[in-house]
């Protein structure tokens, strides 16, 4: 029965793909058996393919939306016109009924919602494919936000990820040499699996709080462990405005400069001192608290660097500001970036083109996030492959 349901869902996916103009894909790769007989014709590549791919993933549902978001950060395998459309994907769904939220709380805490909390807002502050967030007040009077996992999320995600694996296996050997669809899906499966584990997210928050315990600018919410499980996450409510809602241009020039400097310093510390980074730093996850102060939220996606990676990254940045081309290339190779010797002149040209602005600048003046992004730009423009542990840093930068 499970196999039948999987086949049915695969056929549904194929029909959606055809409806958005991608029947040619099945024809080209000899996968016509996945198509209904009435759809087995020779369709053409749709105009504005990026928009059609985005709309197709949106229709297929939350797992595919998240997969598209991951692909948008992989210019090494996704053409620019498609990546530009995929970044527009939004993980938005209708919230589950409040009765379902109440039941999840009861199952996870062993208490009714009314006994566990002094008050609990019925309308969610946000709703996404894995869970939704509600405001609440603890019996001690602490104002908190509670992230509640949707009961069907693990099952739906496992089903769709399994189908992605099946499709990736079909595509192995049918695409560009050196590119493995299965490896891409494996990385996605690991990423979304971590997002499903709210216990892991709670530990991420605690680790960040420890790393920034002496900071006067960075605010990390407190975790209330007795109200946390693998499906429930309760943390301090930070009253701040998400940067995507702040009219930054209207802020005083000095405040804009101070805030930008504080955020840059925060990521410099994460990347070069802690080796532990918030990997989803879009403006909605950064709360402006006034002046240089800001809060960080949503720690479901993080990345870690090994100690030898940190040392080599520091050497790389030092080589950049000294305009040491050989040192830059040596560090890139030690970090796992490989290229054919015949491409060495092109690599040198791209390094000079992207990094010349930093020559002679003190390391303390370097915008680390911008520099890291330019490293990725060089790697991607040459269609080189990176070790998977670095892919999350591209999103963080």
Q: Are 134 and 124 in contact (CB under 8 A)?
A: yes
116: which 2 tokens?
């566990």
Cα distance between residue 132 and residue 343, in whole Å: 48
Per-residue pLDDT of the chain (397 residues; tens, 9 = 90+): 444 456 677 778 877 877 877 766 666 655 555 555 444 454 455 568 889 889 999 888 888 988 998 888 777 778 888 888 988 887 778 899 999 999 999 999 999 999 999 999 999 999 988 999 999 999 999 999 999 999 999 999 999 999 899 888 877 776 666 668 888 899 899 989 999 999 999 999 999 999 999 999 999 999 999 999 999 999 999 999 999 899 988 899 999 999 999 998 898 899 888 999 998 888 889 999 999 999 999 999 898 888 898 889 889 988 988 989 999 999 999 988 888 888 889 989 988 888 888 888 876 677 777 788 788 878 777 777 677 777 666 666 6
Cα distance between residue 106 and residue 32, in whole Å: 48
Continuous segment of H or E residues that includes residue 186: helix 181-196
DSSP code of residue 223: B
Cα distance between residue 4 and residue 9, in whole Å: 9
* List 160, 280, 298, 394, catalytic entry: 280
Phi/psi for 178 (5° steps) reads 90, -10
Q: Are 123 and 132 in contact (CB under 8 A)?
A: no
Q: What residue ranges of the chain are covered by domains with CATH 1.10.510?
A: 207-304
Q: Are 174 and 167 in contact (CB under 8 A)?
A: no
Cα distance between residue 229 and residue 215, in whole Å: 28
**Neighbouring C-alpha atoms within 13 Å toward the C-beta of 73:** 21
Q: Give the chain's length.
A: 397
Cα distance between residue 148 and residue 146, in whole Å: 6
DSSP code of residue 175: S
- What is the third-level CATH fold of 207-304? Transferase(Phosphotransferase); domain 1 (1.10.510)
Q: Are 225 and 202 in contact (CB under 8 A)?
A: yes
* Nearest by Cα to 34 from 17, 18, 11: 11
* Nearest by Cα to 105 from 229, 196, 13: 229
Residues paired with residue 236 on neighbouring β-strands, in sequence order = 144
Provide the terminal-to-terminal Cα distance of the chain, rounded to the nearest Å. 44
Whether 280 is catalytic? yes
Cα distance between residue 233 and residue 371, in whole Å: 34
Q: Are 59 and 68 in contact (CB under 8 A)?
A: no
* Nearest by Cα to 93 from 49, 46, 138, 60: 60
308 burial class (0-12, 13-18, 19+ CB within 10 angstroms)?
A: exposed
């Amino acid at each position: 029965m499970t196999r039948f349901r999987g086949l049915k869902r695969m056929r549904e996916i194929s029909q959606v793909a055809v409806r958005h103009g991608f029947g040619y894909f099945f024809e080209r790769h000899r996968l016509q058996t996945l198509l209904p007989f009435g759809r087995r014709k020779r369709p053409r590549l749709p105009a504005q393919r990026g928009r059609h791919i985005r709309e197709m993933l949106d229709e297929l549902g939350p797992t595919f939306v998240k997969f598209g978001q991951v692909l948008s950060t992989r210019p090494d395998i996704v053409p620019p016109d498609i990546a530009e459309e995929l970044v527009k994907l939004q993980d938005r769904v209708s919230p589950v009924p409040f009765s379902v939220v109440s039941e999840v709380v009861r199952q996870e805490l062993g208490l009714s919602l009314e006994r566990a909390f002094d008050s609990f807002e019925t309308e969610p502050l946000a709703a996404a494919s894995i869970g939704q967030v509600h405001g609440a007040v603890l019996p001690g009077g602490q104002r908190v936000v509670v992230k509640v996992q949707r009961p069907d999320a693990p099952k739906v995600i496992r089903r769709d990820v399994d189908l992605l694996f099946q499709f990736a296996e079909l595509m192995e050997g049918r695409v560009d040499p050196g590119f493995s669809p299965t490896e891409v899906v494996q990385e996605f499966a690991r990423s979304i699996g971590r997002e499903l584990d709210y216990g892991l997210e709670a530990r991420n928050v605690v680790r960040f709080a420890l790393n920034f315990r002496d900071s006067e600018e960075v605010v990390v919410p407190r975790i209330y462990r007795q109200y946390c499980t693998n499906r429930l996450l309760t943390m301090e409510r930070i009253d701040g405005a998400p940067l995507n809602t702040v009219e930054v241009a209207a802020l005083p020039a000095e405040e804009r400069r101070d805030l930008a400097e504080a955020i840059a310093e925060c990521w410099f510390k994460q990347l070069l001192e802690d080796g532990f980074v918030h990997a989803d730093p879009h403006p909605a996850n950064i709360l402006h608290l006034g002046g240089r102060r800001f809060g960080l939220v949503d720690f479901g996606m993080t990345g870690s660097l090994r100690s030898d990676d940190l040392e080599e990254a520091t050497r790389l940045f030092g080589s950049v500001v000294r305009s040491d081309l050989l040192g830059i290339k040596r560090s890139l190779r030690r970090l796992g970036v490989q290229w054919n010797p015949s491409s060495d002149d092109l690599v040198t040209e791209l390094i000079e083109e992207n990094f010349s602005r930093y020559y002679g600048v003190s390391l303390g003046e370097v915008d680390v996030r911008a520099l890291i992004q330019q490293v990725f730009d060089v790697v991607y423009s040459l269609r080189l492959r990176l070790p998977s542990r670095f892919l999350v840093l591209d999103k963080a930068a």
